[in-house]
Amino acid sequence: MEMTESRADTVFRLLHKHYGTVKPGLEYSDIYQLTIAVVLSAQTTDKQVNKITPVLFSKYPDFCSLQSADITEIEGIVKSTGFFRTKASNIVRLARCICLDYDGKVPDKIEELIKLPGVGRKSANVILAQGHNIPGLAVDTHVKRLSQRLGLSTGKEPDKIEKDLKNIYSEKLWSEVHLLLIHHGRNKCHARKPECITCPVRDLCNSPDKNF
């Protein structure tokens, strides 16, 4: 089924009707907490990150306190999120960079964000959209899978998929499209055994794995 702009609009409309306004999965109260949580969320679930961040943020409430943290203690706190040594190193080094190079403030340009330890383009888009309220559209594994199944992009790499989605959706919808696709991927359009019978966009699906 060929992708058209009207089809893309239909996908958005049906998902929004089904789920309503979707909130981010990570729990945070400011851009410091968001930035650190996003780095910790790599290769794990938001739920797992949310379990450990209250302890982390109570001990280290801002970048300045985190930059001088004992790395072994940080490893112990974040261990359950996986890849804990790399993540602990990344968030401490990131805090140091923010304090030394950006006067304690998270940059609001994607070119600057991706220079930070542990921050790739996906994470940078999340920080822009949710932390700075600047249009951004992050492509994670769910967004990638759904974009391909629904014919929103023929790309195989995240950068290409991001470009395609940004071309067919207006800037004001980027963050909401991102959240809706992630939510739908987590709840129904699973990588294996998708729940196609109750899927609100099943008639627009291109996937050979659909089961209805």
List the catalytic residues: 122, 140
DSSP labels for 145-179? HHHHHTTS---SSHHHHHHHHHHHS-GGGHHHHHH
SS3 percent helix, strand, coil of the chain, rounded to 5, is 60, 0, 40
* SS3 label, residue 125: helix
- CB neighbour list of residue 76: distance below 8 Å, 6 or more residues apart: none
C-alpha–C-alpha distance, residues 137 and 207, integer Å: 23
C-alpha–C-alpha distance, residues 202 and 184, integer Å: 12
- CB neighbour list of residue 20: distance below 8 Å, 6 or more residues apart: none
